Amino acid sequence: MAACAFPTERVRNVLVLGHTGTGKSTLVEAMLAAAGHARPHGAGCPTVDHEPEERERGQSLSLAAVAFEFEQHKLNVLDAPGAAELLGDVHPALLAADAAVLVLDATVGIQPQDEQLWRACAEQGLPRVVFLNRLDLERADHRACLADLRARYGRSVAAVHLPIVDAQGLTGLVDVLHSCVIDLSGDGECAGPAGELATEAAAEREALIEAVVENDDALLEAYLEGELPAPEVVASVFAHGIAEGGFVPVLCGAAIDGRGVRELLRFLVEECPSPAEAPHPLPHDGPTVACVAKTFSDQYVGRINLLRVLSGELHADDELTVQRTGQRQRLHQLFCLRGREQLPTTGVEAGDLVAVAKLDAVRTGDLLVADGTGVELDVPAAPPGYHRVALRATAAGDDDKLTTALRRALEEDPSITPDPDGDGRVLGFQGPVHVDVTLARLRRWAGIEVEVDDAPVRYLETITAGATAVGKHVKQTGGHGQYGVAHIELTPLPQGEGFRFEDAIVGGAIPSSLIPSVEKGVREAMRTGPLLGAPVVDVAVRLFDGKHHSVDSSDAAFQMAGILAFRAAVADAGPVLLEPFSTLELLVPDEHTGTVMAELAARRGRIVGTDTAGDGRSVVRAAAPTAELQTFAARHRALTGGRGELTMTFSHHEQAPEHVTRELLAARGDAAALGAAR
């Protein structure tokens, strides 16, 4: 990689996406080989899948960045994981790319994650190119895949290449755009299309022209009047249509042996938008603004941040401000990434990607701006994790190591969601596979074993009836004793009222200076209810009588009197358990709606409403106990064949059914609490 900066017009930022197992990483490795930067490889993808966990599982687990030159252009290729639970890296990377290459397995066709990734690109306005892979295999069906794409996404899908397949496999391509044949066999003897393939090529040429002219009003009007545009006119509008997302070109090949890969690279360079041509949220000639697309950790360098320069230029030793925190950061050594390899560079222009090491307190999604620059920009964020678990070190002495390793995991993986009220060990993941991958990394980073427990559920307790009690704390231990007596009355409050304390003392039974001590004791006692030891809420406490001693009464004595009085009264006030509820919004394929609703019912959920979302999907809104939803995200994904989407937020607390309370108390083994619940 040259040390000088590439002009914006000669940069291509490409995000490679697709369902797991479609050959994305193989394609990226083949791109490197075709560009002369790596040797053709055998099994595995050593450049992009360089982590031990990736080699062990044989798949990408996180985003990899690969920078290389091809025909006087710089390509920044981002290889994203495709497994349903590992898509968290995709969303922040959308802002780093100017085009997405969606890799489809031509033996399988469109798969669930392909649909989700297509929608994510469409929402961001990111141009798409489809690469039909594995056309060297006998089961590959180019025509069926193309027909399915058009059935789902309309006439904007246009074939640019058609495969020429014979007994030797994929030997050539029909270039529909340029009306020529490309030999892939290496012997220069690829025969042109004939018979059925020639007819298909002519039809696809017509479909391509129709898709192209849709992106130019004048050209479309002339075409509808019967005027066929000249080839050079079609070519001039072609790239503009891709940049604007007006149509989606479909290319094809076989990445495993590199066939069609050089043609894909040439297409990316010649037809796909540079950062200057792509729809962009900021003007390139403005002050320097960079976005953190990914955070990596290197065992030698430490933290590495991959930056997309949205505007301005970036040079070594520049100082920028982290907009989120206001902290200034000096960018020391700059380099481009090619997997694990670091290629030094002196600077980059607007639109380019560059990595920088050792930026403190900078995380994925942060904006780094020049002094005095304020930017309002919606940075795509990873979806939150709803598969909640609690992690703990198996060995008691490894707690500090676990804390440090978890901090690193959260920096690298934005789809891990910390529990806002937890201690840092309760986390939300995308599913059990996501948990397993994270545990493997923690084991490698810190050399520790980690246990996975159920995440705690935030129960509350309240009362259903009134009650009175006396709290008496009297001790004589020689010298000054302890004396405090408090009479209180409890009454339930409406849900959400919290706590109310009333001073109803008359006649000085308790000195006014000690009444706050009783309230303090009551508040302390409310932290632990009589059932599960959960906080008590929505209670009114009336202090109406008491006794004091002129010598032995004290703040501590009346605090204890308040604690004892509350504990005695709450046990007689019909204590009940309140369980947290979450609201859910689910996007469900219509054919799976009934199954998903039945699953929610089995988890004590209530359906609030349903609507048609289009695209053969429905929106289901529901509410369910949070305790029943700890593992629902993975179950929902399984029930919908990976095509469902889910959002979940805490809503409120409700009184738990009696059988649920009894089960929880029985699991706790608390006979006294069982009696109180009766």
Residue 123 zone, left/alpha/beta (φ > 0; ψ -120 to 50; rest): alpha
Task: With a cut of 60, say whether residue 392 has pLDDT above it.
Answer: yes
- Tens of pLDDT, residue by residue over 576-616, are 999 999 999 999 999 999 999 999 999 999 999 999 988 88
And the tokens for 608? 């609030």
Q: In this predicted model, which residue has the larger pLDDT, 27 or 55? A: 27
Q: Residue 382 falls within a domain, yes or no?
A: no
Least confidently predicted of 6-20, 402-416, 556-570: 402-416
**509 and 644 both lie in a single domain:** no
Strand partners, 133: 105
Q: What is the rounded CA–CA span in Å between residue 125 and residue 123?
A: 6
**525 and 599 both lie in a single domain:** no
Task: With a cut of 60, say whether residue 514 has pLDDT above it.
Answer: yes
**566 and 583 both lie in a single domain:** no
* 653 three-state secondary structure: strand
Residue 318 zone, left/alpha/beta (φ > 0; ψ -120 to 50; rest): beta
Q: In this predicted model, which residue has the larger pLDDT, 477 or 363? A: 363
pLDDT at 81: 93
**490 and 630 both lie in a single domain:** no
Which amino acid appears at position 488 of this protein? I
- Tens of pLDDT, residue by residue over 223-256, are 888 888 887 888 888 888 898 888 899 999 999 9
The C-alpha R_g of the chain, in whole angstroms, comes to 32
Residues 6+ positions from 199 with CB-CB distance below 8 Å = none
Of all residues in the chain, the percent with pLDDT exceeding 90 is: 70
Name the residue among 651, 655, 623, 625 with its Cα closest to residue 538: 655
Q: Residue 280 falls within a domain, yes or no?
A: no
39-61: b (≥16 Cβ within 10 Å) or e = eeeeeebbbbbebebbeebebbb
Least confidently predicted of 249-258, 401-410, 475-484, 606-615: 475-484
**179 and 101 both lie in a single domain:** yes
**594 and 560 both lie in a single domain:** no
DSSP letter for 505, please. Answer: -
pLDDT tier at 2, thresholds 50, 70, 90: very low
Q: What is the rounded CA–CA span in Å between residue 50 and residue 55?
A: 7
Task: With a cut of 90, say whether residue 400 has pLDDT above it.
Answer: yes
- Tens of pLDDT, residue by residue over 198-231, are 889 889 989 988 888 888 888 888 888 888 888 7
Name the residue among 557, 539, 570, 536 with its Cα closest to residue 468: 570
Task: With a cut of 60, say whether residue 1 has pLDDT above it.
Answer: no
pLDDT tier at 676, thresholds 50, 70, 90: low
Quick one: which H or E segment has residue 676? helix 671-677
Question: What is the count of structural domains for the chain?
Answer: 4
- Tens of pLDDT, residue by residue over 49-85, are 878 888 888 888 899 999 999 999 999 999 999 998 9
Which amino acid appears at position 642 of this protein? G
- CATH number for the domain harbouring residue 243: 3.40.50.300
Quick one: which H or E segment has residue 383? none
Q: Residue 351 falls within a domain, yes or no?
A: no
Listed in order, strand segments (DSSP E) in 394-525 are: 417-418, 426-429, 450-454, 460-463, 467-475, 482-492, 499-503
Tokens 């609690």 locate to 390
> Degrees (nearest 5) of the Cα angle 569, 575, 578?
140
And the tokens for 603? 């988890």
Which amino acid appears at position 18 of this protein? G
Query: Do you know the residue count of the chain?
Result: 678
- Tens of pLDDT, residue by residue over 88-100, are 899 999 999 999 9
Instruction: Check if the beta carbon of residue 106 is closer than 8 Å to that of residue 134.
Output: yes
Which amino acid appears at position 301 of this protein? V
596-607: b (≥16 Cβ within 10 Å) or e = bbebbeebbbee
pLDDT tier at 179, thresholds 50, 70, 90: confident
Q: What is the rounded CA–CA span in Å between residue 640 and residue 592?
A: 6
Strand partners, 485: 472, 547
**490 and 600 both lie in a single domain:** no
pLDDT tier at 673, thresholds 50, 70, 90: low
Q: Residue 642 falls within a domain, yes or no?
A: yes
| Residue where one domain finishes, among candidates 546, 573, 600 | 573
- CATH number for the domain harbouring residue 415: 3.30.70.870
**At how many degrees (to 10) do helices 515-525 and 555-571 cross?**
50
Q: Residue 189 falls within a domain, yes or no?
A: yes
Q: What is the rounded CA–CA span in Å between residue 264 and residue 368?
A: 33
* 116 three-state secondary structure: helix
Q: What is the rounded CA–CA span in Å between residue 287 and residue 335?
A: 21
171-180 mean pLDDT: 89
| Residue where one domain finishes, among candidates 227, 254, 270 | 270
**171 and 205 both lie in a single domain:** yes
pLDDT at 249: 96
Percentage helix, strand, coil for the chain under 3-state DSSP, each rounded to 5: 30, 30, 35
**80 and 197 both lie in a single domain:** yes
Q: What is the rounded CA–CA span in Å between residue 428 and residue 420?
A: 10
Q: What is the rounded CA–CA span in Å between residue 574 and residue 375?
A: 55
Residues 6+ positions from 485 with CB-CB distance below 8 Å = 470, 471, 472, 473, 474, 546, 547, 548, 561
184-208 mean pLDDT: 80
Instruction: Check if the beta carbon of residue 369 is closer than 8 Å to that of residue 287.
Output: yes
Neighbours of 22 (CB within 10 A): 27
HSE-CB of 293 using CA atoms within 13 angstroms: 31
Instruction: Check if the beta carbon of residue 536 is closer than 8 Å to that of residue 676.
Output: no
pLDDT at 385: 93
Q: What is the rounded CA–CA span in Å between residue 489 and residue 376?
A: 54
- For the residues of 282-329, what is the DSSP string, one character each? S-TTSS-EEEEEEEEEETTTEEEEEEEEEES-EETT-EEEETTT--EE
Q: Residue 324 falls within a domain, yes or no?
A: no
pLDDT at 40: 53
**53 and 144 both lie in a single domain:** yes
397-401 mean pLDDT: 93
**Mean pLDDT, the chain, integer:** 91
* 71 three-state secondary structure: coil
- Tens of pLDDT, residue by residue over 302-353, are 889 999 999 999 999 999 999 999 999 999 889 999 998 999 998 999 999 9
**519 and 610 both lie in a single domain:** no
Q: Residue 323 falls within a domain, yes or no?
A: no
Q: What is the rounded CA–CA span in Å between residue 263 and residue 131?
A: 11
- CATH number for the domain harbouring residue 631: 3.30.70.240
What residue numbers bound the domain in which 569 lies?
460-573
| Residue where one domain finishes, among candidates 430, 454, 478 | 454
Strand partners, 99: 14
Q: Residue 59 falls within a domain, yes or no?
A: yes
Q: Phi and psi (nearest 5°) for 578?
A: -110, 125
- For the residues of 395-456, what is the DSSP string, one character each? SGGGHHHHHHHHHHHHHH-TT-EE-TTS-SSEEEESSHHHHHHHHHHHHHHH---EEEEEPP
Least confidently predicted of 205-214, 514-523, 524-533: 205-214
**114 and 176 both lie in a single domain:** yes
Task: With a cut of 80, say whether residue 479 has pLDDT above it.
Answer: no
Report how far apart, in Å, the C-alpha atoms of 472 and of each of 104, 482, 491, 516, 546 are.
Answer: 75, 10, 20, 16, 9
Tokens 């996007």 locate to 587
